[in-house]
Amino acid sequence: MSIFEWSFVAAVLTSATPILFAALAGALCAQAGVFNIALEGQMLWGAFAAVAGSYYTGNAWAGVLVAVLSTAIYSVILAVGAARWKADPIIIAIGTNLLSLGLTGFLLRVLFDTSGSFAPQGLNGIGTMPFLNGIPVIGDVFAGQSVLVPLAFVLIVAAGLWLRLTPGGLRLRGVGEHPDAAATLGIGVARYQAWVTILGGGLCGLAGAQLSLGNVTLFTENMTAGRGWIAVAAVILVANKAFWLPVACLGFGAAEALGFRLQGIGAPQQLTDAAPYAITLVVLVIMRVVVTRRRTHALTPKETLV
Amino acid sequence: MIARLTRHPAVVPIGAVVLAILIGAVVILLAGLNPIDAYAAVLQGSLDVRNLDYTFSVWGFICGMGLVAAIPLRMGEFNLGGNGQLVLGGVTAYVVASQLGLPGIIAVPFALIAAMLVSGGFAAVSAPLATRFGIPIIISTLLLSPVAVAVASYLVRFPLAEKGSGNAQTPVLPEDAHIWSLGDLRYTTVGLPLMVAVMVIFYVVDSRSAVGFELRVTGANRRFGEYAGLKPGRLAIGAMGSAGAVAGLVGAIIVLSSPYRFIDGALISPGYTFAGLAAALLAGGRPALVPVTAILFTILQVGGASMERTAEVPRQLSDVLQGVVIVILALRVVLDRRRAGAGKDS
């Protein structure tokens, strides 16, 4: 088993990217004061919509577009329900997560007359970047990846800069940190929160598309298998700071990729499957211990956001 | 008169169910199938006299998993790790019943108690994770659940596996360790009265004891509870511990019942956990209502199979309806507010 080779780095990136998109959605919502735990269900819907779109049009990018748009529309339930109508976001999210699971399974049977998994002949996946092949390190890591992988990092940096440097980003943070104060300044708090949630839906669509058309080229029932929850954990882990998300998500990607390698040398699959969840939880605990200790020494009790 | 009727507390849950069934009918129509046939098949499959034995046993399990969600819900916490707690209880019961060589009369009670202790302890871990480390219970239960499921799956496939069988399952339990059936019924066992007893205990503790009151106060207003000297941390350990214990009990009963073995995935795939969660949310966490709302999800779950057989509607529709009911329930606050606003005007 050779961990320290570039193909392993590539595998880590592949595993981390869907979670990165979903975690970015979660972090943006958290910044705006919306506790979004609907990521899992939205991602699952996105994965299904991407495969269906690619299957019917024969074009992977059309699949990605279908995933982004339909997941954004799907997230309107949460956006309007939680931000405008002030319903409990947790209960809505539990409902939409269950609904995604049922609906994707139902449509799999009705539209494609199959259950379990759907991998038709000639289903188009998202294109890779073979033009990078000659370049030493970058080629080894990125050439076999879907174009969405670098996009995830671009979006994270863009979102981080937007939150920090633009008036819109400042307002968003204000809405999350002190809604009443933001409202006094004439900012439509509910409208901001609703649009951020819908934007998050689009990102979860990308997450799902990367999962079903980038990492593999097929859809299986419940294929997100808790990745949306890992994304929520990643958001908590980095205390909503978008710039730190890649660290958290790459950690998860490393756990998953290492699991695949360990399976290769005969470790039982059940235990390597469980590792990312256990590791996520352990890291959350360690981070909390470290952060609390540091906070008690610090002079200002409140940590700065982003 | 009509106004008073529409304000009855049962209107919202019943309305949510009716609306969900209508939405389900539209989904079935869009799929080009017949909703009336489908719903008729659901009722027929679940309420047919020959199936009632099975339906009642499932109702017991969904009631149990309803409590698993409802007990923490009383203090405003969400336990979404029911699957892990269920499976851990099942595997513990199997190990105790098969490996210790206990005589008949004590094998079953010991297995049940051991399952409750292990699952209860496992679920209770989420409480200090929330109070000490600030990890919400809803997140930690969800992250712990797949770990428990994977460990159980590993145990069943390797150390406890039936030799020479292609399936991921344990050998059949010795005759002594089979849970007692009720009369000559095949599915309904002593487990069902046990489940009813647990529900009665929850009802009494919730409505008649100091702990139940503290739990509800904390759920209604945590800061007030703390101000009044209640300890949410300790309450959370108790609530999560008892929720996990009930899940462990359900898992143990399933494993000790026919076919008397632990089959990988058999505890999770019927979807008792989320049917129970939906029942608990529909009941608003109220102990007396959980058995009632559980009836609905039992009919959906049991009837789903016959709906698939006779009306060709995929059984995943049951999950769709569960999700829709929960979303509608969450959105009902709009209705409440509008009604409150209307009341102010008049």
Q: Is A113 left (phi over 0), alpha (psi -120 to 50) or beta?
A: left
Which residue out of A75, A99, A224, A236 would a mutagenesis test of the B interface target, given it has the greatest number of B Cβ atoms within 10 Å?
Answer: A99
- Which residue in A87, A105, A230 is closest to B319 by CB distance? A105
Does the beta-carbon distance from B319 to A97 stay under 8 Å?
no
Q: List the Cα angle A139/A145/A150 in 5-degree steps.
A: 85
Q: Which residues of A touch B139 (CB under 8 A)?
A: 37, 229, 232-233, 236
Does the beta-carbon distance from B146 to A273 stay under 8 Å?
yes
Domain containing residue A98: CATH number? 1.10.3470
Residue A228 lies in a domain: yes
Which residue out of B160, B316, B322, B332 would a mutagenesis test of the A interface target, given it has the greatest number of A Cβ atoms within 10 Å?
Answer: B316
A12, A29, A81, A185, A242 from A166: Cα distances, Å:
32, 17, 28, 16, 15
Residue A244 lies in a domain: yes
Integer Cα distance of B210 and B188 in angstroms: 34
Rank A12-16, A214-218, A236-240, B118-122 by mean pLDDT and report only the highest: B118-122
Contact A237, B136 (CB under 8 A): no
Strand partners, A219: A118
- Tens of pLDDT, residue by residue over B25-55, are 999 998 888 888 889 888 988 888 888 888 9
pLDDT exceeds cutoff 60 at B346: no
Which residue out of A35, A106, A232 would a mutagenesis test of the B interface target, given it has the greatest number of B Cβ atoms within 10 Å?
Answer: A106
Closest CA relative to residue B94, chosen from B194, B171, B149, B168? B171
Closest CA relative to residue A29, chosen from A85, A82, A87? A82
Position A292 confidence tier, pLDDT thresholds 50, 70, 90: low
Query: What's the whole-number average pLDDT of chain A?
Result: 84
Residue B263 DSSP one-character state: B
Element (H, E) at B237: helix B232-256
**What distance in Å separates residue B312's CA from the closest CA in chain A?**
10
Q: Residue B81: what residue type?
A: G
What is the number of structural domains in chain A? Answer: 1
- Tens of pLDDT, residue by residue over A104-155, are 999 998 888 888 888 888 788 787 777 777 777 777 777 778 888 889 889 9
Q: What is the pLDDT of residue B291?
A: 93
A278 near B CB under 8 A: yes
Burial class (CB in 10 A: 0-12, 13-18, 19+), B228: exposed
Integer Cα distance of A199 and A34 in angstroms: 12
pLDDT exceeds cutoff 50 at A298: no
Domain that holds residue A74: 6-297
**CA dihedral sign, ordered A98, A200, A58, A12:** negative
* Chain B from 236 to 295: CB within 8 A of any A CB: 274, 277-278, 281
B46 near A CB under 8 A: no
- Which residue in A95, A277, A281 is closest to B323 by CB distance? A95
Q: Tokens 């009670």 correspond to what residue?
A: B109
- Number of A/B CB contacts below 8 angstroms equals 143
A115 near B CB under 8 A: yes
**CA dihedral sign, ordered A107, A71, A204, B82:** negative
Q: What is the pLDDT of residue A4?
A: 62
Contact A47, A219 (CB under 8 A): yes
- Tens of pLDDT, residue by residue over A179-232, are 888 878 777 788 888 999 999 999 999 999 999 998 888 899 889 888 898 898
- Which residue in A87, A100, A268 is closest to B330 by CB distance? A87
HSE (side-chain half, CA atoms, 13 Å) at B159: 9
Rg (CA), chain B: 21
Residue A302 lies in a domain: no
- Tens of pLDDT, residue by residue over B289-310, are 999 999 999 998 888 888 888 8
Residue A305 lies in a domain: no
**What distance in Å separates residue B271's CA from the closest CA in chain A?**
11
- Tens of pLDDT, residue by residue over A267-278, are 788 888 888 888
Integer Cα distance of B274 and B145 in angstroms: 13
Residue A304 lies in a domain: no
Residue A30 lies in a domain: yes
Quick one: closest CA in B to A269, which residue?
B154
Least confident of A3-17, A61-75, B241-255: A3-17
- Which residue in B157, B320, B332 is closest to A103 by CB distance? B320
Q: What is the pLDDT of residue B9?
A: 67
Q: Which residues of B touch A274 (CB under 8 A)?
A: 146-147, 149-151
Identify the residue with better confidence: B119 or B311.
B119
Predicted complex ipTM:
0.85
